[in-house]
Amino acid sequence: DADVTQTPRNRITKTGKRIMLECSQTKGHDRMYWYRQDPGLGLQLIYYSFDVKDINKGEISDGYSVSRQAQAKFSLSLESAIPNQTALYFCATSDHQFGEQFFGPGTRLTVL
Amino acid sequence: EDQVTQSPEALRLQEGESSSLNCSYTVSGLRGLFWYRQDPGKGPEFLFTLYSAGEEKEKERLKATLTKKESFLHITAPKPEDSATYLCAVLGSGNTGKLIFGQGTTLQVKP
């Protein structure tokens, strides 16, 4: 079984809809991250969480919110989806501040 | 400003033709440089971590090296299954644990 899972894997939605992307991990890591990947722009950090009570904005947090339901679960919400949020979204985890991050398989989101 | 630049953007090799990918970085006090492999439509797969200049790591046909300004990913006698996008990232300044990624090098190895 995969250590970091994301659901759904693919999602097509319409402008203005609220959607949630979910991430679960079995690695036992405290730190979790949400990134988006756009062609030609690389991976950019949306939000990050060091533990259940510690959530922080990344460099492109506008239009997004997150919830850390448990150590193993970190959800990303788009309150009112817009077309330029069409991208690949990745969740990642790490076990310490300077350690490598392990990525999930991604969610391909299309906003029409 | 923390920055990572990878070159070339794309690389085509014949099977068995060795080459190197470059990752140049600018960061205040390097605390870690990471190499990932990404296949189309999949998440980045962790390959190596390098922490200090002079450090080297190897895995099968891949070898990563680090200097004070750049890192190289050497691919020896590549096979078609090595075709992928290779991403380089550094830990950003501050305490976020944020990775600063380069744009990646897309490698195609032809049989």
Q: Is the per-residue pLDDT at A1 higher than 80?
A: no
CB-side neighbour CA atoms (13 Å) of A2? 18
Give B58 to chain A, closest Cα distance, Å: 16
Helix, coil or strand: residue B5: strand
Give A88 to chain B, closest Cα distance, Å: 8
Q: List, for residues B16-59, the tens digit of each pLDDT value.
A: 999 999 999 999 888 899 999 999 989 999 999 999 999 999 99
What pLDDT shows up at residue B29? 85
Q: Do A94 and B97 touch (CB under 8 A)?
A: yes
Q: List, for residues A45-91, the tens digit of each pLDDT value.
A: 999 999 999 999 998 999 999 999 999 999 999 999 999 999 999 99
Q: Which of B31, B43, B46 sits opposite A104 (nearest CB)?
A: B43
Q: In this complex, is the C-beta atom of B101 within 8 Å of any C-beta atom belonging to chain A?
A: yes
What pLDDT shows up at residue B109? 98
Confidence category of residue B92, pLDDT binned at 50, 70, 90: confident
Strands (E), A52-99: 54-57, 64-70, 73-78, 87-94
Furthest-apart CA pair in chain B: how many Å? 45
What pLDDT shows up at residue A41? 78
CA B23/CA B103 separation, integer angstroms: 10
CA B65/CA A76 separation, integer angstroms: 36
Q: Is the per-residue pLDDT at A112 higher than 90?
A: yes
Q: Do B95 and A56 touch (CB under 8 A)?
A: no
Write out chain B residues lying below 8 Å of A99, CB-based. Answer: 32, 49
**A107-111 and A10-13 strand pairing:** parallel
In sequence order, which residues have a C-beta less than 8 Å from that of residue A31 and are 6 or more positions away?
Answer: A48, A49, A50, A51, A93, A94, A95, A96, A97, B97
Give B77 to chain A, closest Cα distance, Å: 27
Q: Do B49 and A99 touch (CB under 8 A)?
A: yes
Write out chain A residues lying below 8 Å of B46, CB-based. Answer: 100-103
CB-side neighbour CA atoms (13 Å) of B71? 33
Q: In angstroms, what is the C-alpha Rg of chain B?
A: 14
Give A92 to chain B, closest Cα distance, Å: 9
Q: In this complex, is the C-beta atom of B7 within 8 Å of any C-beta atom belonging to chain A?
A: no
Q: List, for residues B6-27, the tens digit of each pLDDT value.
A: 999 999 999 999 999 999 999 9
